[in-house]
């Protein structure tokens, strides 16, 4: 493994420790949960980090708050601009309100309603765009040009990655407190901010841990980039329920961390994700959104062998619309009840 104390792409344990101090008292310390049923299903010991219980309903608040905290006082009045399918949007909107900064968020017009409502709740202005006809970065850059202010990248920013990494370092400390040494960690991957930050955080405590990214099978750019050793873009216009895992490609930071530290990428189907959502609802009593359930889906579908292993599984978000939860319950809920 690389000398992580030197850091990768500008993020090391010390940036994550600093971020932990900055978000303390603002972000929540999410618990580390365990399920006898999940252990039995996988044949291993699975520890769950439910970031769906994080402020704003996803891990994104960690990185957004850490990034906004780094904005110089004289620039705060200028506000922030961000683009996001909804979780980074809520993280930025919530952090901006805490710092008393105006926020403008560029979101797709088909974003989950619960995410749109959350962003509005935090008082941010929303500019919608059409995913079918406009690129979000193009539209976002346009809005940034008009409004000015500080741009908060959803994943390819050292402060954002360090903030997301606090979820990994926090989980590492919680595992240490239980005398648990994890063999492997499964982390949902979109732009890669979470998986890269969590990898650096976990590796700084457990140098030998095998960390894997989990993506929708139809949007597997991290898996293919890791396999090819060069960053490839995701296929465009694919259909998947994992709305929070669809950036055009993984970030520079995530690709660098990935090539140096991640094992082969894992992928899951929408059907596997729906089963994971129903399993989380009925067994764990947790609400997880499609993208947030990707790692759970990989574990339940046996996309990787967890027998006799100790695994950390990140449930990255819980902002699912009622219709999506109802669909998961209708399609796989009854089977999940009977299955023990």
CA distance 249 to 122: 28
Contact status: 154 vs a copy of itself (CB under 8 A): no
**Which CB sits closer to a copy of itself, 31 or 302?**
31
The crossing angle, in degrees rounded to 10, of helices 193-203 and 252-261 is 40
Residue from 105, 223, 286, 306 binding a copy of itself (CB under 8 A)? 286
To 10 degrees, the CA torsion angle through 151, 153, 159, 160?
140
32: DSSP letter: -
Total residues found in the chain within this entry: 340
Stretch that binds a copy of itself, among 71-79, 118-126, 161-169, 183-191 (CB under 8 A): 118-126
- Number of Cβ within 10 Å of residue 271's Cβ equals 13
Complex with a copy of itself: residue 19 or 288, whichever CB lies closer:
288
Q: Which is nearer to a copy of itself, 174 or 310 (CB)?
A: 174
338 near a copy of itself, judged by CB under 8 A: yes
Q: Under DSSP, is residue 1 helix (H, G, I), strand (E, B) or coil?
A: coil
The contacts of residue 190 (CB under 8 Å, 6+ apart) are 155, 215, 244, 245, 246, 247, 291
- CB under 8 A: which stretch of 3-11, 61-69, 183-191, 321-329 binds a copy of itself? 321-329
Options 45-53, 127-135, 263-271, 296-304: segment touching a copy of itself (CB under 8 A): 45-53
Q: How far apart are CA 315 and CA 10, in angstroms?
A: 26
Encoded tokens for 104? 């403008």
User: Among 228-236, 247-255, 264-272, 274-282, which window interacts with a copy of itself (CB under 8 A)?
Assistant: 274-282
To which residue do tokens 């089963």 refer? 275
**Nearest Cα residue to 317 out of 257, 248, 243:** 243
**Between β-strands 125-129 and 210-216, what pairing exists: parallel, antiparallel or unpaired?**
unpaired
Give the C-alpha separation, 277 to 267, whole Å.
16
Contact letters (x/-) for a copy of itself, 1-40, by CB under 8 A?
---------------------------x--x-xx-xx---
Q: Which of 113, 135, 248, 264 binds a copy of itself (CB under 8 A)?
A: 113
Total of chain residues touching a copy of itself, rule CB under 8 A? 38
3-state secondary structure 256-273: HHHHHHCCCCEEECHHHH
| Closest to a copy of itself by CB, 162 or 314 | 314
Question: Quick one: 94 or 261, whose CB is closer to a copy of itself?
Answer: 94
Interacting residues with a copy of itself between 178 and 217 (CB under 8 A) = none
Nearest to 278 by CA among 217, 339, 219: 339
Does the protein bind a copy of itself through residue 52 (CB under 8 A)? yes
Distances from the Cα of 215 to the Cαs of 197, 200, 285, in angstroms? Answer: 16, 19, 23
**Segment interacting with a copy of itself (CB under 8 A) among 49-57, 103-111, 159-167, 261-269:** 49-57
Q: Whose Cβ is closer to a copy of itself: residue 140's or residue 188's?
A: 188
- Contact residues for a copy of itself, defined by CB under 8 A: 28, 31, 33-34, 36-37, 50, 52-53, 55, 57, 113-114, 117-118, 120-121, 278, 281-282, 284-288, 318, 321-322, 325-326, 329-330, 333-334, 336-338, 340
């Amino acid at each position: 493994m690389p000398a992580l104390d030197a850091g990768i792409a500008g993020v090391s344990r010390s940036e994550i420790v600093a971020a932990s101090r900055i978000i303390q008292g603002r972000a929540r310390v999410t618990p580390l949960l365990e399920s006898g049923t999940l252990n039995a299903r996988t044949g291993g010991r699975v520890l769950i980090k439910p970031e769906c219980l994080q402020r704003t309903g996803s891990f994104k608040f960690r990185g957004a708050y850490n990034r906004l905290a780094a904005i110089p006082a004289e620039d705060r009045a200028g506000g922030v601009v961000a683009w996001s399918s909804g979780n980074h949007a809520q993280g930025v909107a919530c952090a901006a309100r805490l710092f008393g900064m105006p926020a403008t968020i560029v979101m797709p017009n088909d974003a989950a309603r619960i995410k749109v409502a959350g962003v509005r709740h935090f008082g941010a202005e929303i500019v919608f765009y059409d995913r079918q006809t406009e690129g979000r970065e193009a539209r976002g850059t346009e809005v940034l040009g008009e409004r000015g202010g500080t741009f908060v990248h959803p994943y390819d920013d050292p402060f954002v990655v360090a903030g997301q990494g606090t979820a990994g370092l926090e989980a590492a400390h919680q595992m240490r407190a239980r005398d648990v040494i994890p063999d492997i960690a499964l982390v949902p991957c979109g732009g890669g901010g979470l998986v890269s930050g969590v990898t650096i955080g976990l590796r700084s405590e457990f140098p030998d841990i095998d960390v894997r990214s989990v993506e929708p099978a139809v949007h597997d750019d991290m898996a293919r980039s890791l396999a090819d050793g060069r960053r490839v873009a995701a296929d465009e216009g694919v259909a998947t329920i994992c709305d929070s895992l669809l950036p055009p490609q993984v970030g520079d930071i995530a690709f660098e961390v990935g090539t140096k530290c991640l094992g082969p990428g894992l992928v899951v189907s929408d059907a596997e994700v729906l089963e994971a959502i129903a399993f989380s609802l009925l067994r764990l009593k947790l609400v997880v959104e499609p993208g947030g359930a990707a790692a759970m889906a990989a574990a339940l579908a046996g996309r990787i062998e967890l027998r006799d292993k100790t695994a950390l599984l990140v449930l990255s978000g819980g902002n699912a619309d009622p219709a999506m939860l109802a669909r998961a319950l209708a399609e796989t809920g009854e089977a999940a009840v009977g299955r023990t």
